[in-house]
């Protein structure tokens, strides 16, 4: 089951990405293992190759014409909640953007109507 969400521009952020965050650039796929600390995912450990698996989050950012799509695969047995920062093409700062929870062992999809250079997810939490 895919979750689709159209994202709108929010507030600009010029500070560096927060701790325990993971970024993906356009045209890339990254898989990351985390340490579970209560309901939080901390200490991201990027894997050398993208993989699907238990306790792995995979991010894939694709460009299709003037729009971009972020695919997030949740390899945990609980719903993944997170926040996103988006850096649009030609911009040096990130903008806060709404995020959609990803159900256990599913893929979530976020669509952006503008060209994106990089997306950072942070404040990752697992909920029932």
Q: Is residue 84 within 8 Å of 128, Cβ to Cβ?
A: no
Q: CA distances (Å), 37 to each of 2, 3, 16, 34, 101, in order?
A: 27, 26, 23, 9, 19
The pLDDT tens digits of the residues spanning 61-82 come to: 999 888 999 999 999 999 999 9
**Could you tell me the pLDDT band of residue 16, with boundaries at 50, 70 and 90?**
low
Closest CA relative to residue 118, chosen from 76, 70, 48: 70
The pLDDT tens digits of the residues spanning 72-115 come to: 999 999 999 999 999 999 998 899 888 889 999 999 999 998 89
Q: So what's the pLDDT on residue 22?
A: 94
Domains and CATH numbers, the chain: 2-127 (2.60.40)
């Amino acid at each position: 089951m895919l979750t689709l969400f159209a994202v709108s521009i929010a507030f600009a952020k010029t500070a560096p990405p927060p701790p325990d965050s993971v970024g993906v650039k356009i045209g890339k796929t990254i898989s990351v293992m985390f340490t579970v600390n209560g309901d939080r995912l901390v200490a991201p450990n990027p894997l050398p190759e993208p993989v699907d698996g238990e306790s792995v989050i995979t991010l894939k950012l694709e460009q299709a014409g003037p729009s971009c799509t972020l695919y997030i695969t949740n390899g945990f047995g609980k719903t993944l909640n997170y926040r996103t920062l988006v850096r649009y093409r030609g911009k040096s700062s990130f903008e806060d953007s709404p995020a959609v929870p990803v159900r256990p062992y599913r893929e979530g999809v976020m669509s952006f109507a503008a060209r994106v250079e990089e997306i950072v997810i942070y404040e990752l939490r697992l909920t029932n």
